[in-house]
Structure 1
Amino acid sequence: MLQPQWLRTFRALVTTGNFTRTAEQLDLTQAAVSQHIQHLEKRLGRLFIRQPRQLELTPAGHALLDYARELETADQRLTQRLAGNEDSQGDIRLITPGSIGLALYPRLLALQEASPGLNIHHRFAPTREVVDAVLETRFELGIVTLKPDDPRLSVTELAHEPLELVVPAGIEITCWQDLVELGFINHPDGLDMAARLLSRRFPGNAGVSTLPQKGSTNQIGLILAPVARGLGFSVVPRHARQAFADQQAIHVVPAPSAEAEVIDTLWLLSRAEWPLSARAERALAYLRQSLSNEERT
C-alpha cells in the first residue's frame, strides 16, 4: 500500500513541475519532498526524467498518475455516497442513449440552476456501456431501451418514446416507392428502428435493406441535418427529432393508425443492493414529472 502523503506529494510535483514550489505548496521541506519521491521510485521505478527546467513523466510516472486520479475519484464517490441524504448537494451521475439524453440533459441543467449545489454529470453511451457503467457504480443512474435481465440491477419503467418517420418539409409519403425515391439517412440504430416502424407503416414492403442509403452519421444531434436539406429520410426517436434545431425544415409523417406506431419503453437502471441517494431521487421525480407532462401534450 502506497502512503497517501507520498501520493499527495507526487500529484503536487506533477502539477508544479518543481521541487521547491511543491514543498511550499504542501508546507514541507524540499528534502521531505525528495524523500517521498524516492520512496515511490524505490517501489515503482523511475517516475520522472529530470530536465534542466522541467520534469517529464516516465511510463511508470504516467501509470502512477492514473492510479492517483482513480483513488481521488473513488474518494469523491465515497464522500458523495455517505452524504446521500442531502438532496440539494453533490453529484448526479446519469448515463443514457443519445436521444433520451438530448431530452433529459437540459432538464437536469434546469434542476441544477434551481439547486446550484448539485453537479450534473451526463454521458451518452450505447446500451451495453450503460449497463456496465451502472453495474460498476461509475454512474448511479442509467437509461436503456432494451430491458436487461441482471439480478444486480433495479429496473423500472421511466417513460415511453415513439419512433418517428421524418422527411424533408413539403414532402408527401403515400407509398413505399416514395421512400425508395427519397433515400435513407442511416445512423447506428437506424436500420433496426426503420425495420420495426416501416414494417407497420408499409406491410409487405421489400425491406429496409433494399432502400438506397443517401448517407449516415453516428452523431444523434446531426441525423436530421441531411433530412432538413432534402437529401433523404430517417427514422429516429421522438426526443431526437424534438431536439433538432430546424423544425421548419422537416416533417413527421403521421401514423395512419395506432397499430402503425412503434413506442419503445425507456428503462431506468440502478444498483439493486442499495437505495438511491436523495439527490438522485429528487432528480428522478423531476424528470418523471417533466416527461409525463410532455407525453400528455
Structure 2
Amino acid sequence: MNIDTIALQCFIAVAETGSFTRAAERVGRTQSAISQQISKLEGLLDKLLLVRGKAFTLTPEGEIFLGYARRIFALHREALDRFKEPELEGEVRFGLPENFASVYLAEILADFSRIHPRILLNIECDLTLNLFDRFKKNEFDLVLVKMNRPEDFPNGLDVWSEPLKWVGDPSLIDPTRPVPLIMAPQPCVYRASAIKSLEQAGRSWRLVFSSPSYAGAVAAVRAGMGISVMPQTMIPPDLQAIDAAVLPKLADTHTSLIKHVANNAAVNTLEEFVLRRLKH
C-alpha cells in the first residue's frame, strides 16, 4: 500500500498545531476527515503515531515518522512546482517580519529558489507597519504582515490566525511590581497587544529589553531578563508559555499576505508557493 500525500499533509498539520481543530482549518478538511487520515497512516505503518487525550502529542514513532513525512511531502510539492512552471524568470521584492523569516521561511524560500533558479528574490525584513508603509510606496511586490485584526489590512489574503502567548520565567512576575517586558521597538503589533492587555487589566509594566530581532528577544528571555510575547507556534521548545491565569489574556494574532494587483507571473508564483507551504 502506498503512502497518501493527503494523509501526510493531515499528519504534519496535527503534529505542528497540536490540535485536530487547527489542523482541520489549516488543510481545509473536517476534524473527522483528519482523524480518518491519521488512523489510515497508523494502520499502514502498524504503529501508533499520536497519543490521544486532552492534548495531542506524538509518540516516539510519531516523532521519527514526522521527519520522513515532511521530506516526502516537500519533495512531492517540489516536483509539481518544478514541472508546472520551470522557466519563470524575473525579480520579486518580498518584505516580511524577521521572526517569520527565522522560524518559517528560510527553508521555504530556499526551496523556491532551487525550483525557480531564474527568479531573483530580493528579501527584506522589517517591522509590520514599516513593511506596509513601504509597500504602499511600491517598494515591495509582496509583503507578509501580522496584525491584531484581519480588517487592519482589508486587501490582505488571510494566511492563518493563532493565539499570542506570554513567554518566560513565571517567577519574574510579581503582582506588586511592574511586569518586565522584552519587546521589539515601536511600531510592533505584538508590543501594542501586550501593553494594551496589561493596561486594560490595570497591570503596570516596564521595558527591560528592546530588539527588532526575534533571535535577540529569545536570547533575552532565555537569560531570564523578562517576559516576551510570541505566537504559539513560534515559541522555542526550551521556553515555556506562561499560564493564562498569571497574566491577562492576549488577543489572537493574524497573518496576511498582500501584493499589488499585477499580472507578474514570478510574483504570483511566489505568492502561491508561500501560501501553500505556510498553510500546509
Distance 1:135 1:87, change over 3 A: farther
Does 212-221 or 106-115 show the bigger shift? 212-221
Matches within 5 A, 1:176-255: 177=174, 180=177, 183-188=180-185, 189=188, 191-196=191-196, 205-207=201-203, 210-238=204-232, 241-242=235-236, 247-248=237-238, 250-253=239-242, 255=244
Q: Name the structure 1 match of 2:6.
A: none
The offset of 1:111, in angstroms, is: 1.4
Deviations 1:48-87 (A, max 9, x none): xxxxxxxxxxxxxxxxxxxxxxxxxxxxxxxxxxxxx976
CA distance in 1, matches of 2:178, 2:94: 40
Give deviations 1:219-248, integer Å, cap 9, x for gaps: 232112111012221113346545xxxx42
- Other-structure match for 1:265: 254
1:89 corresponds in structure 2 to 89
- Report the CA distance between 1:101 and its aligned residue: 3.3
Counting aligned pairs with the same residue, the percent is: 17
Structure 1 residues 118 and 239, CA, compared in 2 at 3 Å: closer, same or farther?
farther
Secondary structure of the structure 1 residue equivalent to 2:240: strand
Letter in 2 for 1:93: R
Match of 2:142 in 1: 141
Q: Is the 8 A contact 1:179 1:211 kept in 2?
A: no
Q: 1:110 matched to which residue of 2?
A: 111
- Preserved CA contact (<8 Å) 2:198 2:205: no
Q: What is the alpha-carbon distance in structure 1 between the residues aligned to residue 159 and residue 256 of structure 2?
A: 6
Aligned to 1:75: none
Deviations 1:7-62 (A, max 9, x none): xxxxxxxxxxxxxxxxxxxxxxxxxxxxxxxxxxxxxxxxxxxxxxxxxxxxxxxx
Counterparts of 2:161 and 2:206 in 1: how far apart (Å)? 30
Summarize the Cα distance change of 1:287–1:192 in structure 2 as closer, same or farther, 3 Å threshold: same
Report the AA paired with residue 268 of structure 1.
Answer: L
| CA distance in structure 2 between the aligned counterparts of 1:88 and 1:179, rounded to whole angstroms | 60
Contact 1:99 1:239 in 2 (8 A): no
State how far apart, in whole Å, the 2-side matches of 1:87 and 1:96 are: 26
Q: Tell me how far apart the structure 1 counterparts of residues 94 and 224 of structure 2 sit (CA, whole Å).
A: 35
Query: Residue 162 of structure 1 contacts residue 264 of structure 1 at CA under 8 Å; is this kept in 2?
Result: yes
Q: Against the structure 1 CA distance between its residues 212 and 142, is the aligned structure 2 distance closer, same or farther, given a 3 Å change threshold?
A: closer
Tell me the alpha carbon deviations over residues 149-201 of structure 1, each in whole angstroms, 9 at most, x when there is no partner: 89xx9432222243221114xx568xx636948732232235413135557xx
| Structure of higher CA gyration radius | 1
The aligned amino acid for 2:216 is L
Query: Does structure 2 conserve the Cα–Cα contact (< 8 Å) formed by 1:89 and 1:117?
Result: yes
Check whether the contact 1:92–1:121 (CA below 8 A) recurs between aligned residues. yes
The unaligned stretches of length 5 or more in structure 1 are 1-84
TM-score by length of 1: 0.52
Contact 2:159-2:279 within 8 A present in 1 as well: no
Question: In the alignment, what sits opposite 2:58?
Answer: none
Stretches of structure 2 lacking an aligned partner (at least 5 in a row)? 1-84
Q: 1:290 to 1:180 in 2, by over 3 A?
A: farther
Give the number of aligned pairs. Answer: 188
Task: Report which stretch shifted further, 113-122 or 86-95.
Answer: 86-95
